[in-house]
Amino acid sequence: MTMLAALLLLCCRLLPSSNTATATPTPKIDRKHVVSRFNPTRNASSPTTPMQVGNGDFAFGADITGLQTFLPFGTLSSWGWHNASLPTTPGQTAPEDFTGLDWWTHGRLVNYDQPNPAEPEISQWLIANPHRINLGRVGFVFFDRQGRGNLNVSEEDLTGRFQQLDLYSGTLTSQFSVNGTAVTVQTWVDPGSDTVAVKVRSELLARGQLGFFFDYPYATGESKFEAPFVGRWDAVEKHRTELSVSRWGKQARIMHQMDNTTYYTLLRWEGRGASITGPLEGSHRYILQLDIGQDSFELTATFSPSSDCKIPTSVDYVNHASTRWWKDYWETGAFIDLTATGNATAIEIQRRIILSQYLLAVNEAGRDPPQESGLVNNGWYGKFHMEMYLWHSAHWIPWRKTPLLRRSIGVYDRFLPSSIERARHQGYDGARWGKMSDPTGRSAPGEINSLLIWQQPHVFYFAEMEYKYAVANGHHEEQKSVLQKWDNILTESANFMTSFAFWNESTGVYDLGPPMYPASENTPPNGTTNPTFELAYWRFGLGIAATWKKRLGQPVPETWTHVAEHLALLPTTSSPATDNKTTYTVYEGISHMWTDPETVSDHPALVAAYGLLPPSPALNKPIISATAAQVARTWNFTDCWGWDFPMLAMTAARLGDVDAAVAYLVNENFAFDDVGMPVGPAGKAPTPYFPGSGGLLLAVGMLAGGWGGIGEPGEKGYGNGEYGRAPGFPVEWDVRAEGFVGVL
């Protein structure tokens, strides 16, 4: 037994045998101090991103007023989705009418979910439906001294604007003055329900000059991207709202119906009388006007698909619940503090870390994998991408916040039957995971969508990391349950991966593709074979599959072993462009690898074979080193996407170049705005593009917690969560890290 294993055993004896699975040692870093230093402030609304409060399944985007008074930022959820009516073209009136396309695949026709030019309407309907909806808008209305509303007040009319988000308690405080009278607004979201709570203080309230509006947009699948705002406000006749006011007062409910989607907003207020009326002519806007009297007002708005939402709530309750939840969030799990380093890069990385920690808990800790823009606005119709799930969410494990990952990881169980059916329909064994998905698990038609394969081995990464986490926690029961819960999913995944690999008689190896798309989605699919990253990932996945069976005391299927041992070698090239050094290539036989502008753009995923993935005998270190150097020299980084930079940082760290690792984390093409929203890649996706934030935290988890390859309890690399130096940061930096679980 190694020393570390002995320590782990000792630790687990001393720990209480709770099931909370956040066995972090007592924090030594003054976390509140570090977190609060990065509280974002604004004195004007940003035209592109809101300040946000939320709970992972529901988030509220606010403008400078703390509500959505001037800008209709989103109120998005995990559960709010809408279908447009189905096409009426004969033969294209139901999802079942869609037939996709057949492509030759190793001598046989395989049916892929690709838009069929003969079925354009139903193809497009399946891409755009269901789409995520903006649940509604809450803002201030201003009245004059005579109580006349609808004043033409704009943000510029407000003076003394100042807004601060207190990250440590999840409280957004906004202050401004109207004609010299101050208004203070506090906004929270309940961690346990989809409730936004608002507390307002102002003389304007006492004079009846400040009230609220509630408004509802229609949802359409007209645009792939809806940013910065979601929904249509000019299609009033297409949807319906209905107000019911409680007979006992201080409570009202607004029903919103759009085609087959119906949900409710339950409004509750405290302390004084108010009357709600509406909708205003030609709109779905309702007005809450307060009785003259006190100078404070408290309002909660709970959004729910259920008409009899009985969640007891109040502003006080939400305030306390939010404060408790966020304190626990910051004080448990891992933490890193780079602020003692007097280096601007270190401080900027710390800012990105803290703001990403906040925004990922607000936007990406829900019951489904997150969409690229979280709960801020819509991209790809609000759907989520199974290949991006890892970059969004794997970081929870090294940061020892696995319970937040467990809210959504059940997606693999839920989608297993439809994924088995997808594989069966195409003549493969096992489960083929889909791509661009809605909560039902249907994968949207698309040429790239249907031909990407790198989402398949993600289950092995998640499973192995979860096992590693259980080991780090020293909970034997948790280890056993992790092994059990993933067994079926891993088995079906490995079965697909082995049946997908094509035995090439003439070369005596298994090939991946064609047709296929690698992670960099810019190669000719019918000519793409054996991409470096996918080959490495297949080998990694099948390796874990076998290890899993051994841990469970079960036999390893021979086909798995045969495929794993006979996968094609990673493709290489060497030419004057690489100073005749050997490098890996994106895929086998690619021409002009380092000289064609097209091949050195998009995701440089070939480096992830040694960066995201642990060392493997199939990978040659001098070659990966030359490849990383060649990428650094020739890649078109302006054409990269957020997560590419953390991926490059992880590779650099594993190669021992920690200066390059931290430089990638602040690369000029990897930007975060003033409130920490990861800026979308120019011309490709709007801000925010959250795989950048998730990737950042995964990379930081690695740099802080270390990396150790795959192993058994007690072997090198199983982070023990002790306070100490982080191996992936420059030695000159003063780095304090605690609680991390190392990555694979």
Ligand X SMILES: *[C@@H]1O[C@H](CO)[C@@H](O)[C@H](O)[C@H]1NC(C)=O
CA distance 497 to 564: 10
99 binds ligand X (CB under 6 A): no
Nearest distance from C-beta of residue 517 to ligand X, angstroms: 10
Task: State the Cα–Cα distance between residues 470 and 79, nearest whole angstrom.
Answer: 30
Of 142, 229, 297, 389, the one binding ligand X (CB under 6 A) is: 142
Which CB atom, from 333 or from 382, has the smaller least distance to ligand X?
A: 382
Q: How far apart are CA 626 and CA 634, in angstroms?
A: 12
> CB-wise, 387 or 511, nearer to ligand X?
511
- Is the peptide bond prior to 597 cis by the omega test (within 30 degrees of 0)? no
Q: Please give the helix or strand (H or E) that residue 664 lies within, else none.
A: helix 658-665
**Nearest distance from residue 509's CB to ligand X, in Å?**
8
Beta bridge partners of 182: 177
| CB nearer to ligand X: pick between 25 and 597 | 597
Helix, strand, or coil (residue 263)? strand
Q: How many residues bind ligand X (CB under 6 A)?
A: 39
**Residue 290 is encoded by which pair of tokens?**
């307060």
Give me the 581-620 binding string for ligand X, x by CB under 6 A, dash otherwise. ----------------x---x-------------------
When binding is defined by CB under 6 A, the residue of 5, 12, 29, 86 that contacts ligand X is 86
Q: Are the C-beta atoms of 659 and 665 separated by less than 8 Å?
A: no
Cα(643)–Cα(641) distance, rounded to whole angstroms? 6
Stretch that binds ligand X, among 371-379, 548-556, 570-578, 632-640 (CB under 6 A): 632-640
Q: Per-residue contact track with ligand X, 683 to 712, x per CB under 6 A? A: ------------------------------
- Binding range to ligand X, per CB under 6 A, among 163-171, 343-351, 372-380, 713-721: 343-351
> Which of the ranges 48-56, 82-90, 366-374, 645-653 carries the binding residues for ligand X, by CB under 6 A?
82-90
**From 29-37, 267-275, 327-335, 500-508, span contacting ligand X (CB under 6 A):** 500-508
> Is residue 260 close enough to count as binding ligand X by CB under 6 A?
yes
φ, ψ for residue 185, nearest 5 deg: -125, 130
Asked if residues 734 and 340 have their Cβ atoms less than 8 Å apart, the reply is yes
Of positions 283, 522, 575, 636, contacts ligand X by CB under 6 A:
636
Tokens describing residue 154: 């704009």
Pair of tokens at residue 298: 């408290």
Residue type, 486: W
Q: CA-to-CA distance for 304 and 48, rounded, in angstroms?
A: 27
Contacts of 30 (CB under 8 A, 6+ apart): none
Q: Which one among 122, 501, 662, 685 touches ligand X, defined by CB under 6 A?
A: 662
**Residue 369 in tokens:** 């994998």
On whether the CB atoms of residues 705 and 726 are closer than 8 A, the answer is yes
144 near ligand X (CB under 6 A) = yes
Q: Is residue 575 at the binding interface for ligand X, with CB under 6 A as the rule?
A: no
Burial profile 377-410: b = 16 or more Cβ within 10 angstroms, e = fewer:
bbbbbbbbbbbbbbbbbbbbbbbbbbebbebbbe
What's the closest the beta carbon of residue 248 comes to ligand X, in angstroms?
32
Cis bond before residue 279 (omega within 30° of 0): yes
Site stretch for ligand X (CB under 6 A), options 265-273, 351-359, 501-509, 541-549 = 501-509
Residues making up the chain, counted from first to last: 744
Q: How far is the CB of 83 from ligand X (least distance, A)?
A: 4
Tell me, letter by letter, the H, E, C secondary structure of 508-574.
Answer: CEEECCCCCECCCCCCCHHHCCCCHHHHHHHHHHHHHHHHHHHHCCCCCCHHHHHHHHCECCCCEEC
Q: Does the footprint of ligand X cover residue 147 (CB under 6 A)?
A: no
Site string for ligand X, 525-544 (x = CB under 6 A): xx------------------
Please check whether residue 583 is in contact with residue 626, taking contact to mean a CB–CB distance below 8 angstroms. yes
Residues numbered 119-138 forming contacts with ligand X, rule: CB under 6 A: 129-130
Q: Which of 17, 26, 506, 580 binds ligand X (CB under 6 A)?
A: 506
Residue 356 and residue 676 in contact, taking contact as beta carbons nearer than 8 Å? yes
Binding mask 303-332 for ligand X (x = CB under 6 A): ------------------------------
Binding mask 166-195 for ligand X (x = CB under 6 A): ------------xx----------------
CA gap 50, 688 in Å, rounded: 10
Closer to ligand X at the Cβ: 525 or 694? 525
- Which of 242, 246, 247, 215 has its CA nearest to residue 231? 215
Q: Which of 222, 596, 712, 732 binds ligand X (CB under 6 A)?
A: 732
Give dist(CA 46, CA 63) in Å, integer. Answer: 7
> Which is closer to ligand X, CB of 209 or CB of 363?
209
Selected range binding ligand X among 253-261, 306-314, 364-372, 461-469, rule: CB under 6 A: 253-261
Residues forming the site for ligand X (CB under 6 A):
43, 81-83, 85-86, 95, 103-104, 129-130, 142, 144, 151, 153, 178-179, 259-261, 343-345, 440, 504, 506-507, 515, 525-526, 597, 601, 636, 638-639, 659, 662, 730, 732
